[in-house]
């Protein structure tokens, strides 16, 4: 169902009016909204899973549960456990000259938050930020991707069942509606998607001075250390690369491998991938590429690398279906598109290196990625990589799992995004932390009021020395 653009303005006005009537929802109200979101998920989880599977073509119910439903349930539980502490005013230090006054931070809801979610994890990336938005006392409008139309319509109906339109509403439609959505004067806008579209979203939001949280992507590296035990860790790399067929914003995008270990690495990674997925085409556990357009883009990346001299290692001959078998690429160079563009699929370029400094320089010569993965046992090397690289987040000796930690913020840096959410970090992101100074009945301010007598000048010199 296509939502008319007129409904967009109407719903935004409705939620603004509701926020004005209750600008600081009580803890009980926020808990009730979180409880209803959890009930919505419980009641519709099976239908959502079927809708997402149909939208993709093939996507395992277990994978959807693991990567989308379980993390949202965890986020709701975490928010309900900590909500009272998050809402409590924070007392901060007060300069000694202003004692016995007090300095506080009051966390207030921003108002109405817009959430634009993508197709690759349509449930997770719509509802995960919504958890934080509701915990912080806001109202929300959601615009899910038109590339997962069955799920988008299912979410619209489910939200209307559990929430009034002045609390949360879902708008469904094409890219034109998405553009109109991002141009609205929200109090905050959350966008998850590509860096190229993220730039357009930021430009549209800037016209209204709407603050944005941009969760983008980029080329997230895997750095294999010389101390890495390949036999014990490569299942974790294979899983992180192939879950959702690599259509994950924090999926490993390329691997940096010590040159003497290159052959052993390729052999071990290939074995790990085939252990997880004994076959790819026709395997109900292996996800399809979401559309013909994305499948064709991935084929073009591989063809470009092959034409420029890359060694192409195919784990299974392709029959042309959208269940695309993994492809490992060796002998790659910077002129190839696979080292320039975010891959977002089951293609992994493998780049040999000779020294750790060379590998770090390779990472730093590119845009700051959304994630970085380090595999090894040498903690000095690990700490060197952590200190000398920048990325939105890191998992060591694993992939993806830093995203699942409710106590850690999730977000990018530079071209991979701005702002972050999850847990208290999300609560703060969607709140205005208002500084408040509470003056005491007894204040020394009068000692420095004009007229500025010699006594005051002497006092000011003494205060200057004190600082």
* Residue in this structure with the two tokens 């009930």, named with its chain if needed: 39
Q: CA-based Rg of the chain, rounded to a whole angstrom?
A: 25
Would you say 216 and 415 are in contact if contact means Cβ atoms under 8 Å apart? Answer: yes
What is the spatial distance between Cα 160 and Cα 73, in angstroms, rounded to a whole number?
19
Short-list 246, 291, 110, 120, CA closest to 190: 110
Q: Tell the burial category of 74 from Cβ atoms under 10 Å away from its Cβ (0-12, 13-18, 19+).
A: middle
Cβ neighbours of residue 15 closer than 8 Å, sequence gap 6 or more:
112, 139, 140, 141, 165, 166, 167, 169
What is the spatial distance between Cα 301 and Cα 341, in angstroms, rounded to a whole number?
9
| Residue 188 tokens, joined | 């905050």
Short-list 434, 430, 431, 432, CA closest to 213: 430
Three-state DSSP class for 308?
Answer: coil
Q: Which of 68, 215, 316, 342 is catalytic?
A: 215
Q: Which of 68, 167, 182, 249 is catalytic?
A: 249
What is the spatial distance between Cα 296 and Cα 131, in angstroms, rounded to a whole number?
35
| Residue 70 tokens, joined | 């379980």
* Eight-state DSSP code of residue 122: T
Residue 249 is among the residues annotated as catalytic for this protein: yes
What is the spatial distance between Cα 459 and Cα 467, in angstroms, rounded to a whole number?
13
**How many other C-beta atoms lie within 10 A of the C-beta of residue 327?**
25
Would you say 390 and 399 are in contact if contact means Cβ atoms under 8 Å apart? Answer: no
What is the spatial distance between Cα 165 and Cα 10, in angstroms, rounded to a whole number?
10
What is the spatial distance between Cα 383 and Cα 432, in angstroms, rounded to a whole number?
35
Cis peptide before 214, with omega less than 30 degrees from 0? no
What is the spatial distance between Cα 351 and Cα 330, in angstroms, rounded to a whole number?
7
Residue 182 is among the residues annotated as catalytic for this protein: no
Catalytic site positions: 215, 249
């Amino acid at each position: 169902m296509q939502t008319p653009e007129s409904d967009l303005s109407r719903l935004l006005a409705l939620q603004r009016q509701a926020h004005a009537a209750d600008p600081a929802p009580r803890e009980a109200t926020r808990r009730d909204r979180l409880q209803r979101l959890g009930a919505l998920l419980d009641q519709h989880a099976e239908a959502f899973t079927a809708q997402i599977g149909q939208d993709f073509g093939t996507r395992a119910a277990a994978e959807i549960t693991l990567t989308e439903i379980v993390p949202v349930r965890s986020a709701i539980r975490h928010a309900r456990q900590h909500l009272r502490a998050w809402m409590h005013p924070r007392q901060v230090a007060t300069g000694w000259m202003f004692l016995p006054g007090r300095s506080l931070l009051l966390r207030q809801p921003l108002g109405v938050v817009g959430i634009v979610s993508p197709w690759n994890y349509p449930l997770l990336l719509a509802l995960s930020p919504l958890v934080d938005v509701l915990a912080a006392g806001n109202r929300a409008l959601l615009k899910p991707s038109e590339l997962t139309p069955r799920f988008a319509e299912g979410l619209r109906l489910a939200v209307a069942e559990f929430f009034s339109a002045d609390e949360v509403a879902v708008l469904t439609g094409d890219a034109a509606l998405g553009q109109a959505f991002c141009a609205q004067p929200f109090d905050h806008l959350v966008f998850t998607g590509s860096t190229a579209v993220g730039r357009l979203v930021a430009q549209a939001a800037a016209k209204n001075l709407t603050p944005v949280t941009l969760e983008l992507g980029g080329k997230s590296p895997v750095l294999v250390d010389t101390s890495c035990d390949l036999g014990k860790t490569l299942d974790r790399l294979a899983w992180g690369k192939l879950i959702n067929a690599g259509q994950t914003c924090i999926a490993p995008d390329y691997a940096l491998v010590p040159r003497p270990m290159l052959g052993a690495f390729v052999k071990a990674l290939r074995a790990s991938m085939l252990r997880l997925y004994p076959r790819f085409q026709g395997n109900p556990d292996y996800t399809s590429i979401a559309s013909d357009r994305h499948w064709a883009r991935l084929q073009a990346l591989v063809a470009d690398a092959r034409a420029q001299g890359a060694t192409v290692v195919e784990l299974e001959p392709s029959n042309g279906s959208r269940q695309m078998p993994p492809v490992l690429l060796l002998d790659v160079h910077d002129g190839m598109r696979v080292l320039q563009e975010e891959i977002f699929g089951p293609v992994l370029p493998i780049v040999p290196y000779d020294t750790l400094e060379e590998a770090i320089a390779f990472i730093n010569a590119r845009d700051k990625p959304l994630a970085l993965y380090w595999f090894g046992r040498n903690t000095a090397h690990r700490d060197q990589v952590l200190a000398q690289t920048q990325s939105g987040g890191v998992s060591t000796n694993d992939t993806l799992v830093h995203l699942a930690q409710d106590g850690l913020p999730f977000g990018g840096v530079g071209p991979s995004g701005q702002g972050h959410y999850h847990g208290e970090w999300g609560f703060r992101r969607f709140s205005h932390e208002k500084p408040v100074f509470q003056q005491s009945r007894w204040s020394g301010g009068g000692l420095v009021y004009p007229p500025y007598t010699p006594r005051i000048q002497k006092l000011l010199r003494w205060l200057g020395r004190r600082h």
